[in-house]
Amino acid sequence: MAIFLVACAKEAALPIEANFDVEVVDKDYSVPVAVKINNQTEGADTFQWTFEGGEPAASTDKNPGTVRYSEKGEYKIRLVASNRDGIEEAVDYELVIDEAIVPNFEINVEGDDYAPVTITIENTTTGATTYNWTFDGGIPPKSDAHTPGKIVFQEPGDHIVTLEAGNGRETETITDTVTVASDVFADFDMEPAFEDDDFQAPVTLNLFNKSMNATGYEWTFETAEPTSSIATDPIITINEPGVHQIKLKAYNTKRSATKIKEVTVYENTNLRILEDVVMGISTAHNSNLKGALYSTITRQVYHASSVPMDDASTIDIAFFALNQEFNFNKFVTLDEVQDYTFEPMPNAKHTKFINLQESCECEASLSVAEFDALEDDGLLSEMIIEETMGGIQDFDDSVVPRIVLFETADGRKGAIKIKEFVADGINSHIMMDVKVQKQ
């Protein structure tokens, strides 16, 4: 009986099955790496974890949670499990941590960015062992070399360069763009100087370059001054009538394009023709509605508030109409406008007028038919414009059209044809054409 009881008092020691799972978060083995530990041990009461190279480096928790690694390398995870019976069992796990993949490269363009474009690539990627290059529109289109050779892009546009860098377990991707400029496009506009907008010789032309993707320009003007230019926007003068050719060659280091345009220059009639000029009555002028002052030089009508404050010497015609009935009208010299409800004008010049040819008692005369037929300054140049008491008198609207002769302070002779008297209250005005010598 005693022997039997002693034997029953001895209990069998419990075995231990030490085991655990390792889960790499997001399957990302490149530093920084987070590892979750799942303890599957059976038969143990205490646990001693060591995490070589990890943070934390050790733990006695049954489930130590997440361990982090910040350096690449091969590390051992060890679990020593034990119980109250003194049983102990250890298990190890080898963990390989990769260097972080940091893809990076620099594109170097050989020469300029005009087609065809050749590039080389400086690969500065770290942490990768494999390289998969794709060159959209390039020759070659792909490469698996660490540093690919020269790549050529022949078509204009944006071309994507893609690098997929890997280490055998994961990859990282980066892209960049190669922009190939379009072909050279040559074009230009030309605009005459203000005083040459009738294209009568001589004509000064401002050339406005509209070319694209060019680095230089060659202009050729065989019949102009100068005869050539390399400026972007040159100014030229054509002295002789005729059809003249302007040639532009736009180029870059690889290509060029040419544009040719023609311009017609006419004989110089020395006559400026100004049509449909509107000039207001006195109240329209002073109310800043319709001006009663005009410049044959600037070709601009001025009302009371738009007269230049410092120098009005370019204004050479002043029209005074007493009211909308047009029973008292006259063109007056600029240095006497203050006598006709106008403000005095600074630096005003004297223009001679013949308002009433029929009362002038002078040699100068011009009929409506002769005015309409004027195509050059032949008749005007022969006239002697005299101011007489009869000629400077006022007129009414009974004669339409009416021809008024004048001579500016700088000696240019001209004629005004009043085509219409328009009664419109405060907006009342006349409509007229002007033909005047250029110089």
Pick the last residue of a domain from 236, 265, 294: 265
The predicted pLDDT at position 112 comes to 85
Q: What is the mean pLDDT of residues 225-248?
A: 97
Domain boundary among 97, 125, 148: 97
Structurally, the chain folds into a number of domains equal to 4
CB atoms within 10 A of CB 216: 13
What's the angle, vertex CA 189, arms to CA 184 and CA 192, rounded to 5?
A: 155
* 279 and 258 together in one domain: no
Instruction: Flag whether pLDDT at 322 surpasses 70.
Output: yes
Q: In the beta sheet, which residues pair with residue 273?
A: 435
- Residue 120 located in a structural domain: yes
**Contact of 98 with 29, CB cutoff 8 Å:** yes
Say yes or no: 92 and 224 in one domain. no
> Would you say the C-alpha torsion 288, 294, 300, 306 has a positive or negative sign?
negative
Residue 439 confidence class, pLDDT cut points 50, 70, 90: confident
Predicted local confidence at residue 11, as pLDDT: 59
For the cut 50, the answer to whether the pLDDT of residue 4 exceeds it is: no
Residue partners of 262: CB distance under 8 A and separation at least 6? 243, 244, 245, 246
The answer to whether residues 357 and 433 belong to one domain is yes
For 357-382, how does the pLDDT look when each residue is reduced to its tens digit (9 = 90+)?
999 999 999 999 999 999 999 999 99
pLDDT digits (tens, 9 = 90+) for 140-190: 999 999 999 999 999 999 999 999 999 988 999 999 999 998 889 999 999
Residues 115 and 241 in one domain: no
- The Cα–Cα gap between 370 and 373 comes to 5
Q: Are residues 290 and 336 in the same domain?
A: yes
Q: Are residues 51 and 75 both part of a single domain?
A: yes
Backbone CA torsion sign across 181, 187, 189, 190: positive
- CB distance 400 to 418 below 8 Å: yes
CA 376 to chain centre: 45
User: Distance (Å, rounded) from C-alpha 128 to C-alpha 174?
Assistant: 13
Residues 294, 385, single domain; the answer is: yes
Residue 438 has pLDDT above 70, yes or no: yes
- Look at residue 191 in the predicted model and tell me its pLDDT: 97
In a domain, 9, yes or no: no
The mean pLDDT of the chain is 94
> What mean pLDDT is predicted for residues 322-330?
96
Q: Which long-range contacts (CB under 8 A, 24 or more apart) does 10-13 make?
A: 13/85, 13/86, 13/87
Domain region containing 121:
105-180
Statement to judge: residues 400 and 315 lie in one domain: yes
227 and 260 both lie in a single domain: yes
Is 291 found in the same domain as 158?
no
For residue 389, what are the contacts with CB-CB under 8 A and spacing of at least 6?
A: none
Residue tagged 């680095």 (tokens): 215
Provide the pLDDT for residue 253: 87
Asked if pLDDT for residue 12 goes beyond 90, the answer is no
Identify the CA nearest to 434 among candidates 329, 254, 279: 279
Distance between terminal CA atoms of the chain? 152
pLDDT at 315: 97
In-domain check, residue 6? no
Q: What is the 3-state secondary structure (H, E, C) of the chain?
A: CHHHHHHHHCCCCCCCECCEEEEEHHHCCECCEEEEEEECCECCCEEEEEECCCECCEECCCCCCEEEECCCEEEEEEEEEECCCCCEEEEEEEEEEECCCECCEEEEEECCCECCEEEEEEECCECCCEEEEEECCEECCEECCCCCCCEEECCCEEEEEEEEEECCCCEEEEEEEEEEECCCECCEEEEECHHHCCCECCEEEEEEECCECCCEEEEECCCCECCEECCCCCEEEECCCEEEEEEEEEECCCCEEEEEEEEEEECCCCEEEEEEEEEECHHHHHCCCCCCEEECCCCEEECHHHCCCCCCCCCCEEEEECCCCCCCEEEECHHHHHHHCCCCCCCCCCCEEECCHHHHCCCCCCCHHHHHHCCCCHHHHHCCCCCCCCCCCCECCCCCCEEEEEECCCCCEEEEEEEEEECECECCEEEEEEEEECC
Look at residue 341 and tell me if it is in a domain.
Answer: yes
State which amino acid sits at residue 129: T
Please report whether residue 301 resides in a domain.
yes
pLDDT tens for 54-111 read 999 999 999 999 999 999 999 999 999 999 988 999 999 999 999 999 999 999 999 8
Q: Is the pLDDT of residue 416 over 70?
A: yes
Instruction: Please indicate, yes or no, whether residues 430 and 285 belong to a single structural domain of this protein.
Output: yes
Spatial neighbors of 275 by CB under 8 A, at least 6 apart, are 433, 434
- The domain boundary residue, chosen from 79, 97, 115: 97
Q: What is the mean pLDDT of residues 37-54?
A: 94
Q: Which of 156, 151, 131 is nearest to 141 (CA)?
A: 151
Both tokens assigned to 167: 């280490």
Predicted local distance difference test score (pLDDT) of residue 196 = 96
Contacts of 9 by beta carbon, 8 Å cutoff, 6+ apart: none
Query: What was the pLDDT predicted at 1?
Result: 41
Is 1 part of a structural domain of the chain? no
Q: Distances from the Cα of 336 to the Cαs of 162, 252, 339, 342, in angstroms?
A: 81, 62, 6, 9
- What are the backbone dihedrals phi and psi of residue 188, each rounded to the nearest 5 degrees, phi first? -160, 160
